[in-house]
Amino acid sequence: MKINNETRMTKECRTPNDKMSPHSLSAASVLVIRHLSLVRHSLIRASAFLLLIFLPALQAADNISVLGSKPQWSVLEHYQETITRDDFDRLIQSVYCTHGFAPDLIQINEKTARLIKNRCAQEFFTLRFAANNAEHQPVPRLWRPTKSLPAARSGKPLSGLRVALDPGHLGGKWARMEERWFQFGNSQPVQEGDLALRVARLLGRRLRQLGANVSFIRNNNEPITAKRPDDFHELARKILIKNGVPQPRADVLDPNDPEKEQTIRWQSEILFYRYSEIRRRAALVNFKLHPDLVLCLHLNAEGWGDPNSPTLTEANHLHLLVNGSYLAEELEFDDERFEMIRRLLSRAYDEELPLADTIAAAMARETGLPPYEYPTTNSTTKVGSSGYLYARNLLATRIYRCPVVYCEPYVMNSEDAFARIQAGDYEGTRNVNGTERKSIFREYADSVVDGLVDYYSKARCSRDR
Ligand SMILES: [Zn+2]
């Protein structure tokens, strides 16, 4: 069955399928059903509607997303009087809450914003605005905005910049479980996690040559999390029961099993490789690496159907993502709402927008790819001026506490990208599909490097100027 790209991306990355934590089974259950409904079950879509209607009555005291933790609202005290009302309102309206939200969640008054910490308990956090831009308090953060970086060393436009590379997914023996694997005939299997790691290694080498301090969030095909799918059986069972599958099956029949998402195995696996893994990566970023920037490296795909007999397509495209564009139902989660506000107050977007737009322009120039257009505007908001950049609430872009640029070039199962992936990595150019091309891995890495150099050469002062 052909899965459209929106569905595939939804499955891959975004948070509506942030299913639930043991703390909160109710609101999250709406979302998992919503996710299932996107895939193919019209019957379940109807149940999602019912659950949504009854949501307020079902809400538990703490309303936390999958494997999330209770927000520490007191942290926001450090952001008092750091932002003007106008800036706060602009970021809410045009970046973070572009799909609206329940009006009681965030009330923007003249001098303060009233934020609901917990709706049931009617607990609020009051954020005081800065009177004007000249008098605001300094924004606390562990990453450095470009303007605070020391002057660049001569010929090293990225000197001193701390960049963490996050090759998406796991690859290796996990690729099939992640559903990031397909094989066409007897060709080499295509595994997104492995391709992203290859790009990351090439990119890391070049960034170091340009003076950057590079760390890898993942540098092999093993998970960061110590958990494994077996650790999530009980939670998976609870999720399914709460979502109207009273007696969930233990196992998936085969990769094309239409009801695989209603099995304990499928749910436990996704809790492992997506939720647990990305949350562990976030802990590494937030508590150990403290980078100025994270680059999430992915390759896109169109629905390929049966992974053992995949559909190749002519469509090939590029887009980049930064955090934003939260759905109204995502903002109902106490932790997601808190993380959104903390991110907004950290002013990561001020850095992400021009940087991601510049990288997007360089990648577009060098790959020649057209911009990806989402089939709906239900989950994304186009931002910037390159035409390639979207705001979207992905787990990684939300919880890595620094600017995050998320790259999605190439459709792996396009005829062009597939041939280039099969050609492997090489120096210089080769004739692939009738055109002299760099290896797809080097083209990816080089175009990101060029975008970074374009941005930082202009945005930071250089000692030799
Ligand atoms: Zn990916």
pLDDT 10s digits, 284-308: 999 999 999 999 999 999 999 999 9
pLDDT of residue 95: 98
Count the Cβ atoms, other than its own, within 10 Å of residue 147: 10
- Separation CA 171–CA 167 (nearest Å): 10
Interval between CA 327 and ligand 1 midpoint (Å): 21
- Average pLDDT taken over every residue of the chain: 87
pLDDT of residue 461: 64
Interval between CA 381 and ligand 1 midpoint (Å): 19
Judged against a pLDDT cut of 50, whether residue 310 lies above it is answered with yes
Place of tokens 């559909």: 311
- Letter string b/e over residues 24-63, b meaning 16 or more CB atoms within 10 A of that residue's CB: bbbbbbbbbbbbbbbbebeebeebbeebeeebeeebeebb
Interval between CA 84 and ligand 1 midpoint (Å): 36
Q: Are strands 123-128 and 190-191 parallel, antiparallel or unpaired?
A: unpaired
Interval between CA 190 and ligand 1 midpoint (Å): 12
pLDDT of residue 4: 31
Interval between CA 256 and ligand 1 midpoint (Å): 20
Of the two residues 161 and 52, the one the predictor is more confident about is: 161
**DSSP alpha helix (H) spans, 40-139:** 42-53, 55-58, 85-91
41: Cβ contacts below 8 Å, ≥ 6 apart? none
- Separation CA 285–CA 393 (nearest Å): 18
Interval between CA 289 and ligand 1 midpoint (Å): 22
Side-chain half-sphere exposure of 320, counting CA atoms within 13 A: 32
Query: By the 8 A CB rule, do 265 and 8 touch?
Result: no
At position 76, the amino acid (one-letter code) is L
- Separation CA 182–CA 303 (nearest Å): 11
Residues shown for the chain: 465
Interval between CA 462 and ligand 1 midpoint (Å): 35
How confident is the model over 206-244, as pLDDT tens digits? Answer: 999 999 999 999 999 999 999 999 999 999 999 999 999
- Separation CA 287–CA 401 (nearest Å): 10
pLDDT of residue 252: 84
Interval between CA 69 and ligand 1 midpoint (Å): 25
Interval between CA 274 and ligand 1 midpoint (Å): 11
Query: By the 8 A CB rule, do 451 and 206 touch?
Result: no
Nearest CA among 310, 441, 315 for reference residue 373: 315
Nearest CA among 137, 133, 28, 151 for reference residue 86: 133
Nearest CA among 182, 163, 218 for reference residue 351: 163
Interval between CA 456 and ligand 1 midpoint (Å): 26
Interval between CA 393 and ligand 1 midpoint (Å): 14
Interval between CA 416 and ligand 1 midpoint (Å): 18
Say what the pTM is: 0.88
What single string gives the DSSP state of each residue in 176-208? Answer: TTTT-EE--TTSPPEEHHHHHHHHHHHHHHHHH
- State phi, psi for 124 to the nearest 5 degrees: -130, 155
Interval between CA 147 and ligand 1 midpoint (Å): 31
Q: Are strands 435-437 and 430-432 parallel, antiparallel or unpaired?
A: antiparallel
Judged against a pLDDT cut of 90, whether residue 346 lies above it is answered with yes
Interval between CA 391 and ligand 1 midpoint (Å): 16
Return the axis-axis angle of helices 440-459 and 415-423, rounded to nearest 10°. Answer: 100
Interval between CA 356 and ligand 1 midpoint (Å): 17
Interval between CA 300 and ligand 1 midpoint (Å): 6
